[in-house]
């Protein structure tokens, strides 16, 4: 979501919440302020999560690798 008023109204409507124009103005302000504050958190201040499973999905390759058709169809198959 980009957070524009129309998009927020649509998302709320999708979830069954009807809002007035005044509601929408304040909700948009709150959401924009929190998003802006979250975006200001210094990137280096937040570490990657520790995953207790001992495995993280590998970073995507720089170039898309060739994927065989049967692998693509069964993404959980043995990798």
Q: Footprint of other proteins on this chain (CB under 8 A)? A: 1, 3, 8, 11-12, 15-19, 22-23, 26-27, 29-31, 33-42, 45-47, 49
Residue 15: both structure tokens together = 């979830």
Q: Least Å distance between CB 22 and other proteins?
A: 7
Nearer to other proteins, 33 or 56 (CB): 33
Nearer to other proteins, 26 or 67 (CB): 26
């Amino acid at each position: 979501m980009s957070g524009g008023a129309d998009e927020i109204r649509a998302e709320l409507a999708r979830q069954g919440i009807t809002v007035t124009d005044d509601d929408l103005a304040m909700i948009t302000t709150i959401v924009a302020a929190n998003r802006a504050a979250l975006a200001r958190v210094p990137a280096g201040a937040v570490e990657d999560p520790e995953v207790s499973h001992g495995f993280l999905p590998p970073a995507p390759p720089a170039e898309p690798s060739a994927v065989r058709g049967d692998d693509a169809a069964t993404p959980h198959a043995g990798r």
